[in-house]
Amino acid sequence: MAAEECVFCKIVRGEIASERVYQDERVVVVRDINPKAPVHLLLLPVVHFTTPADIIGLLEPAVGHLFTVAAEVAQREGVAESGYRLVVNAGPDSGQEIGHLHMHLMGGRRLGTMG
Ligand code: AMP
């Protein structure tokens, strides 16, 4: 999908409303519109990639930065101690709905085992 049409690119550009909890030059973090946990954030790289396969060897630092920011926003949201789950969906079998690489951060309740 072209970046012009991508929902997450539109969120990053401020063309679609979202609740931003963090941003820097590489990542924007928003609350998921359909939360699956009391804390459900989406970490959106500013640059558009479709899946992790697109960034292998190319922008590993950008993906590493997602983990750094995840730890920061987990602290801010009060789930750093209780624990949280980071999820990256890739492709049809994962249920990835939006073709802009992103990381979910979910916490605030006991999460079920991964299925
Ligand atoms: P995925 O299945 O990994 O592609 O996850 C996409 C996520 O984006 C879902 O959890 C949706 O609820 C969420 N989502 C879709 N549109 C928006 C939006 N406009 N603002 C915030 N979250 C969204």
Q: Does residue 17's CB lie within 6 angstroms of at least one atom of ligand 1?
A: no
Q: Which of 88, 12, 89, 85 is nearest to 47 (CA)?
A: 12
What residue owns the CA closest to ligand 1's atom 17? Answer: 33
- Has 102 been annotated as catalytic? yes
Q: Which of 7, 44, 85, 86 to mutate to test the pocket of ligand 1 (most atoms within 8 A of CB)?
A: 7
For the chain, the domain total comes to 1
CATH code of 31's domain = 3.30.428.10
Q: Which atom of ligand 1 is nearest to the CA of 104?
A: 3
Residue 114 lies in a domain: no
pLDDT at 31 over 90: yes
| The model's pTM | 0.88
Which ligand 1 atom minimizes the distance to the CA of 32? 22
How close is the Cα of 36 to the center of ligand 1, in Å? 11
- The predicted pLDDT at position 49 comes to 85
* Domain of residue 27, residue span: 7-107
Q: What average pLDDT does the structure give for the chain?
A: 91
Q: Kindly state the helix (H) or strand (E) to which residue 44 belongs, with its residue range.
A: strand 39-45
**Residue 32 CB partners (closer than 8 Å, separation 6+):** 40, 41, 42, 104
Question: For residue range 41-89, what is the model confidence (pLDDT) as tens digits?
Answer: 999 999 898 877 776 666 677 788 899 999 999 999 999 999 999 999 9
The answer as to whether 2 is a domain residue is no
By DSSP bridging, strand 39-45 and strand 84-87 are: unpaired
What pLDDT does residue 70 have? 97
Residues contacting 93, CB < 8 A, separation 6+: none
Alpha-carbon torsion angle 76, 105, 12, 18, nearest 10 = -70
What does the pLDDT read at residue 58?
A: 63
In a domain, 1, yes or no: no
